[in-house]
Structures are given as C-alpha cells and as structure tokens.
Amino acid sequence: MLRGLYTVTAGMLTQQRRTEMLSNNMANANTPGYKADQSSIRAFPEILLKRMENGAVPATVGSLHTGVYIQELNSHYLQGDLRETGLKSDVALVEQNVPVHQETNVKGALFFAVENESGEERYTRNGHFTLDENGRLLSNGNQVLSVTGQPIFIQSGEFQVTEDGDIFADGEFVAQIDVRFEADVRNLVKEGNGLYRTANNLALPSAANNAEIEYNLKQNFLEGSTVDVARTYTEMMTAYRSFEANQKVLQAYDKSMDKAVNEIGRLR
C-alpha cells in the first residue's frame, strides 16, 4: 500500500515540474531569441515481487512500478523565425552553417557575447538592442561586446550593421559585434532573462572569421522564440490531467488506509 503512495507522489511531482517548465516556455513565447525547454521523463527501475512461504521455492507475484521522474531539461537551439521591426537597434543572428558535434551528433549554437552588471561574460540570442544615455549598446541591460572584448559605444542614432556585424556610424567604423560559438550545447546553463553561461566557466571562442562557421546579422529584424504556443498549451493540459489522475489515485489510497485503520481494525 505504501509503495503505491510513493509511486503516485513521484508522478505528481514529475507533472508539477513539467507544468512549471511548460509555463515558463509559454511566458517567453514572445521573448526574442528564446529557446524552448523540453523535458525527458524516465521511469524508476521496476521491482520484481516474490512470495515466500515456509522456505519453499519463491513464487513470482509480479513486477511493481516505482514511479517516474524528470531526468533532465534540455533546450533545443533551433533557429527562430525572423520578424522585421524597422528598428535600427534590432539585430537578428541568422545561422547558416554551424558544425555538428561529433559525440552527440547535435549542431552547435551561436550567441551574442554580453557583459552583465557584475562584469561577468554571458551569452544571449536576444538581439533587441538599445542605446543608453552614454551610447552603450545593451541587450536587456547587459553590455554587448565587440570582437575585442570591449563594450560597444555608438555616439550617433544613425548607424548601420553589416552582415558581418561591423557597425558604422556616420560612415565611420565603430566596432564589430562579437558572435560566440559553443560546439557542445550540453555545456550551456540557462541563467534566466535570456542569458546563458558555460558549465565549466570558460569563455566561448569567437565565431568571427572562423572558416567552419557561417552566419550573418540582419539589422531591423528580430529572431523570435522557438516556442510552439499551440503544442505547449496542449502539453500543459496533458500534464495537468496526468497530475489530476495521480491525485485521484492518491485520494483512493488515503480512503483505503482510513477504512483499514478506523473500520477493519476496530474492536467490537
């Protein structure tokens, strides 16, 4: 009886975590460059039950399923759809040729390099840039870095960004937007607000002038998120129904135990 309680509880916790992940995806459906998370659910090992009677040969009763758990959460680094905004400060990163990792057979990922308020290097696909009062180019409050590793300052509202990431203001070269490359996406860790860091805390190499990597930057465009709203909504309903089903089983166990304690075991 108690083993069944553990099984349904594991199922409820799994569906709760899955619902939280899907809710986060839905909340970021309109976030530029957001990469949707996907969960991998795995079952705990099954237990083979046997009946022991007076030292006789054990008789097989059957197997007991011990529940499920979320093994890992993965982001799929697919190219999002492009949307024209007409804003000069919006820049979309478009992947053309990115090497595939030999071990995982998964394509690598490209990112803008930024510096957060603590001076730490982070990575993002959010190309909705802005200029502050000092002319710093920012992505969601983080300083966009050039290929020299320095923040980019633009002292003119009229500037152009080439496909290679070169910025020209009033006809003069200002800086080149740096794009970094991660060959093994398993090394990426989400920090929130569209930022990533590396699990080993090492800086990613620049993809600029890398002959094996092809990309271009499109000014006046934004990359959309990879969230499929209709599919995410359907999966949320499925997770909710699964949670409800486990909840009803838990309530049935509770009623059975209540009857066993208060009725069957009652002395008359």
HEC string for the chain: CHHHHHHHHHHHHHHHHHHHHHHHHHHCCCCCCCCCEEEEEEECCCEEEEECCCCCCCEEEEEECCCEEEEEEEECCCCCCEEECCCCCEEEEEEEECCECCCCCCECEEEEEEECCCCCEEEECCCEEEECCCCEEEECCEEEEECCCCECECCCCCEEECCCCEEEECCEEEEEECEEEECCHHHEEEEECCEEEECCCCCCCECCCCCCCEEEEEECEEECCCCCHHHHHHHHHHHHHHHHHHHHHHHHHHHHHHHHHHHHCCCC
Answer yes or no: is pLDDT of 264 > 70.
no
Query: What is the pLDDT averaged over residues 5-14?
Result: 83
Q: What is the rounded CA–CA span in Å between residue 250 and residue 240?
A: 15
**What pLDDT, on the 0 to 100 scale, is given for residue 47?**
55
The pTM score is: 0.80
User: Alpha-carbon Rg of the chain, whole angstroms?
Assistant: 26
Confidence of residue 152 (pLDDT cuts 50, 70, 90): very high
Nearest Cα to Cα of residue 47 among 31, 60, 34, 33: 60
**What pLDDT, on the 0 to 100 scale, is given for residue 157?**
77
Other CB atoms within 10 A of residue 182 CB: 21
**What pLDDT, on the 0 to 100 scale, is given for residue 249?**
85
**What pLDDT, on the 0 to 100 scale, is given for residue 50?**
56
Look at 197 and 41; give whichever has higher pLDDT: 197
The answer to whether 123 and 159 have CB atoms below 8 angstroms apart is no
The answer to whether 190 and 75 have CB atoms below 8 angstroms apart is yes
